[in-house]
Amino acid sequence: MISRRAVISGGIASVLGAVAPWPARASGWPRRIVDALGREVEIPRRPERIVPVFSSNTEIVAALGAADRIVGIDGLTHWPPEIADRPAIGNRLGFSADRIARLGADLVILTPARHAASLLLRPLATIGVPAVVMTHATVSEVLGNIVRIGAIIDAEPAAGALVRDLRRRLDGVATRRSGRSPMRTYFETGANARGQSFSVRPGGYTDDMLRLAGGVSVFPELSGLTQVGGEAVARAEPEIVVVAGGPREAAMIRARPGWDTIPAVARGRVITVPRGLFLIPGPRIAEGVELLARALHPSAFPEAA
């Protein structure tokens, strides 16, 4: 007989996949890894002066108890609060290998966005600073990268404990919402000054979080650009509209010409979620899923009311 828990666990397993225990327990130095670009990188000694580029990597390193070893950050990183005073090594305009060198960094962890890899990998190799490239495309990959970063920075026990806790919390959400149909959701990740709005990208970590929370995107087949218009949203007939942002972003949706005719908007079924929880693929993913699940399925979380 198949238990109810096994069915629930199988459901979240379709999103989370299996987190490969690479390496289950590293020992000694140097340590070598193959990063997201297929490069073999040698870490000669335990890193003591880490520069994580982009918020996701910074949040993971800090969550593993190594915030005190972070000596520089991306200028757009603001979490956790205790790293806010670290020197910035770049921003939207680019990143500086010279600044990283002046900080005495002995490890850089980066993600191939905003040309960070093309700007930093060659000069860092020239000056002998190990640089590891991570991609966090899905929730499963985020969990796997927590394990990998734990091995790279000598924080394996903390990484294992963190991943177990995240999976426990996500499993708890699945248990609470079991038996409820997914809510058809228009999830808006952003908008620009030209009036263009953007839906959650199918198959990405934010889409994974929506599904783990008990929702399903009304645009499951978008590819490439995820720009959508009001007519497309109206035709899709979402039961609820979720906006990454705050009251300002929710008010902008309600003020758009014609959007008041969309039933979910007309009924006030527009909710906001913090951008940092849903647009940064890091260790706060369970917090985001729990928050969204309470909004999508309030009857499953009566204590939240």
* pLDDT tens per residue, range 5-14: 443 444 565 6
Q: pLDDT band for position 303 (50/70/90)?
A: confident
Percent of the chain whose predicted confidence (pLDDT) is above 70: 90
Average pLDDT over residues 118-132: 95
Mean pLDDT value across the chain: 90
Lowest mean pLDDT among 26-30, 119-123, 247-251, 298-302: 26-30
pTM of the model: 0.90
Average pLDDT over residues 44-51: 97
> How far, in Å, CA of 163 to CA of 238, rounded?
33
Pairwise pLDDT comparison (303 vs 214), residue with the higher score: 214
Average pLDDT over residues 243-259: 92
Q: What is the DSSP string of 57-102?
A: HHHHHIIIIIGGGB--B-TT---SGGGTTSPB-EETTEE-HHHHHH
CB-based contact 111:88 (threshold 8 Å): no
Average pLDDT over residues 54-80: 96
Angle, alpha carbons 132-80-304 (nearest 5°): 120
Give the Å distances, CA to CA, from 175 to 11, 83, 179.
10, 35, 9
> How far, in Å, CA of 131 to CA of 85, rounded?
23
Decide which of 3.40.50.1980, 3.90.1150.10, 3.40.1640.10, 3.40.50.300 is the CATH code for 26-143.
Answer: 3.40.50.1980
The residues, ordered by sequence, that sit 6+ positions from 100 with a Cβ below 8 Å of its Cβ are: 51, 72, 89, 108, 120, 124, 129
| HSE of 277, CA atoms in CB hemisphere, 13 A | 16
The separation between CA 2 and the C-alpha centre of its own chain, rounded to angstroms, equals 32
Average pLDDT over residues 61-86: 95
User: pLDDT tens for residues 184-225?
Assistant: 999 999 987 677 899 999 999 999 999 999 999 999 988 776
Domain with CATH 3.40.50.1980 in the chain: 26-143, 181-304
| Architecture, CATH, for domain 181-304 | 3-Layer(aba) Sandwich (3.40)
